[in-house]
Amino acid sequence: MCGIAGIINFKAQAIPMATIQQFTDAMVHRGPDSGDYALLENETVALGHRRLSILDLSAAGCQPMQYADGRYAMVYNGEVFNFLELREELEKAGYVFRTKTDTEVILAAYDCWGKDCLYHFNGMWAIGIWDSVEKELWLARDRFGIKPLYFSHQVNQQFAFASETNAFQFLEGFNRTFNEKHISLSLQDPYSLEGFGKTIFDQIESLLPGHWISIKGNEFDLRKWWQTSDHLQEVPAAYEAQVEQFKELFADACKLRLRSDVPIGTALSGGLDSSAVYCMLQHLKKQNFITDRLPAQWQKAFSAIFPGTEQDEQAFAQQVVDFVGGEVSWIEQSTHSLADKIISSAKQLDLIYNTPLFIGSDIYGGMKERGITVSMDGHGVDEMLYGYGFAVKKLADETAYKDVMLAENYWQVYEEMYAERPVKPVHFGEQQMVQSSWQWKIKKDLKKMAGRSAVPAFDEAILYNQFHLSMLPTILRNFDKMAMQHSIEIRMPFMDWRLVTFVFSLPDSSKVGNGYTKRILRDAMKGIMPESVRLRKLKTGLNAPMQSWFANELRTFVLDHVHSTAFQQSNLWDGKYWAKIAEDRSTHNTWTFNEALAFWPLLNANLLMN
């Protein structure tokens, strides 16, 4: 798990070593263990790598790694979890390995199978390979975009790529500027850009999940190599058999992701998804399973707690730990220097979202302080199994035309998800409401720009879109940033491609039923986790207790910012409207959850842009 960077100079000018070092070292937090760089092709191609050592901790695992007598040079961020099986297969084909890394296995696979090697990998990756024979730079991203890869193509000047948008501030010859249309769209919908390969900056794009780029001379070739709908499978007709197959796939995905040469922990929130991961790991432990490269330390959970706030889930996390007889470290969220944290986080994360993300980042910081380098997390379930209320509501609305009784059941599931937290509408301010019509125009423009990766009619399904285009790409981006700020790798068993294609092959009745969302997961975990969590309906999610902070610890901070010239005169929001709202709500301690959710992105953008 690392930070990678690269530059091609199209003007045949030598790239100074200091240029690639500065560009790469802007991401030192992603790889604090070492930094290495290479100048290739008469110094017109540069590759850089910041290493977070996880597999083969020796110097043999450093990158850029050269292979095949120097023909290939590669930088790579991620893990290919089935590298041991691939290594054995490649050894039978005559390949010899000098390291114990998955990096060398990827290079051998590329030499053996070419670009089709991607179909052999089970994992997460952003790869950059320079082929000195073909004079080609090849970049590839994993199926679902777990690992990030951003690029800027300045035609006839240079092409550059990096793991984070922050790095482009330090790229010689590139002036990083904000794209106000994209920022405006993010303020209305924080999930609108990532799935279309766009960022809040001009001339910085994200390589889309399941895509690769080839650059050969002046030829720029962008292709989609993976589409989930092309890999659906025939599933058992009987629901009970579906549950058993889901359980087996999930267990095997967990086993594969335990391969590591450094300690592993589990991020436990007390919700269904993270609890399922932790409980499955404990279940495997009791079965005395066997896997290669298992670290000595992998059994412990780490849980962020918010004592006295509406976001605290400690009681549920404790029930999970007690049920399996496991260990947990509690990481309490401190409000000390909260304003400084807010400012620092906005700058470091370099994005706009609807809640402060440092609250999630703190758990990974706590892990790092306790000697952990890899975190096992539960991401991906909500987007596959109707974990969000709005998705269940939309399913109910669409079903009503075909089956009224079934639609009523879905409606009941939706209402019970929010039984203890009523959803209220929020007014965004006059100027924002006026902007809404052209917000839709921007969305249409984005879809046109993303036409190269247009998806078939099947992809209009509720879950398929939020998994591939909206919710999940954004969440994966956020968690990568939060964890890598503290040099922590996140592994996600539910994102195993075998499990994903299986779930998308299931009927909706296997995903929502008997009064519950995530039906098949809940049934697969019966007896493995506590019933109180397995059957829990209320969804808390990762949200800071903003309404409390804005009226208390952050009251002065908020009021200072809404009255600042930059906030008041912004053409992206109605500054005067929000100043009045902030004054009233902060003074009387009457912020609602939805108001805070609507206000935070404006404050986030103001901090980032000024």
Task: Say what the pLDDT of residue 308 is.
Answer: 66
| CB proximity list for 38: less than 8 A, separation 6 or greater | 46, 47, 48, 64, 66, 73
Q: Please state, as a whole number, how many other Cβ atoms lie within 10 Å of the Cβ of residue 275.
A: 30
* 3-class DSSP assignment, residue 412: helix
How do 489-491 and 374-376 pair as beta strands? parallel
Task: Say what the pLDDT of residue 419 is.
Answer: 63
Task: Say what the pLDDT of residue 93 is.
Answer: 97
Bridge partner residues of 330 (DSSP): 303
Query: What is the block-wise mean pLDDT of the chain (610 residues), using blocks of 10 residues?
Result: 94 97 97 97 98 95 96 97 98 97 98 98 98 98 98 96 98 96 95 96 98 94 97 96 98 97 95 96 92 92 79 86 95 84 92 90 93 97 94 90 89 80 40 39 47 43 92 96 97 98 96 94 98 87 82 93 96 95 93 92 95
| Full-model pTM | 0.92
* 3-class DSSP assignment, residue 408: helix
| CB proximity list for 296: less than 8 A, separation 6 or greater | 263
CA 547/CA 557 separation, integer angstroms: 14
Task: Say what the pLDDT of residue 541 is.
Answer: 67
